């Protein structure tokens, strides 16, 4: 290329490439700072109290816990401690949401965007939806949330279920929220 024959032109082209790479990297990182104000489809509450049984104080930065919202009509059905105190934080809560999976997915898509989570992936899976998002913590780490949404199945009962029992159990979603300390920022 004729433009790259002189030392000055090589320096200019190299500088432009370097600036483009730095800007591309910066735009690709989750900021953890700028939130949106999209109207939520359900009333929300902080997920922090639901993570409390598996989260010692100070382990997860407050800005990450504050940015994690769940529908107000949720009830915790369980939790898991995957890291067992060894290595980086990796814990999950399971909640039951009294809304259809499509409505629940819409809520989490909007809530995560509103709270400055960077949605990495949102897709339909065989029996529901998965959302993966990142947030920058004040501790110098990125935090990843995996949201898995599936229709709730009625509890197994002996004998046939009445139509009223089936109707009462429909329109609910089982949601798993897995929070991981991802990597240093």
170 and 134 assigned to the same domain: yes
Q: In which element (H, E) is residue 45 found?
A: strand 44-46
User: What's the CA gap between 181 and 161, in Å, rounded?
Assistant: 43
- Do 180 and 108 lie in one domain? The reply is yes
- Domain of 15, in residue numbers: 1-30
Q: What is the pLDDT of residues 15-43, one digit of tens each?
A: 676 566 555 554 444 444 455 567 788 99
Q: Kindly state whether residues 5 and 35 are assigned to the same domain.
A: no
Share in percent of the chain as helix, strand, coil (round to 5): 30, 35, 35
Do 60 and 87 fall within a single domain? yes
User: 112 and 100 share a domain?
Assistant: yes
Same domain for 43 and 117? yes
Is the pTM higher than 0.85? no
- Contact between 154 and 172 (Cβ < 8 Å): no
Whether residues 39 and 23 share a domain: the answer is no
Q: Are residues 102 and 26 located together in one domain of the fold? A: no
Q: 140 and 69: one domain?
A: yes
- What residue has token string 């504050």? 66
pLDDT tens figures, 88-123: 999 999 999 999 999 999 999 999 999 999 999 999
Residue 24 and residue 5 share a domain: yes
Q: 52-79, pLDDT tens digit by residue?
A: 989 888 899 999 999 999 999 899 999 9
Q: How many CB atoms lie within 10 A of CB 92?
A: 18
| Number of domains present in the structure of the chain | 2
């Amino acid at each position: 290329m004729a433009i790259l024959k002189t030392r000055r032109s090589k320096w200019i082209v190299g500088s432009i490439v370097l600036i483009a790479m730095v800007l591309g990297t910066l735009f690709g990182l989750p900021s953890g700072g700028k939130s949106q104000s999209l109207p939520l489809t359900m009333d929300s509450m902080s997920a922090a109290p639901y993570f409390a049984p598996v989260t010692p104080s100070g382990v997860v930065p407050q800005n990450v816990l504050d940015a994690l919202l769940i529908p107000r009509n949720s009830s915790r059905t369980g939790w898991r401690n995957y890291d067992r105190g060894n290595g980086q934080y990796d814990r999950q809560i399971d909640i039951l949401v009294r809304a259809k999976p499509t409505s629940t997915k819409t809520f989490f898509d909007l809530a995560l965007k509103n709270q400055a989570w960077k949605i990495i992936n949102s897709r339909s899976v065989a029996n529901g939806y998965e959302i993966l998002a990142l947030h920058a913590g004040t501790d110098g780490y990125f935090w990843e949330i995996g949201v898995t949404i599936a229709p709730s199945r009625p509890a197994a009962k002996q004998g046939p279920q009445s139509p009223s029992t089936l109707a009462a159990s429909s329109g609910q979603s089982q949601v798993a929220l897995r929070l991981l300390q991802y990597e240093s920022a």
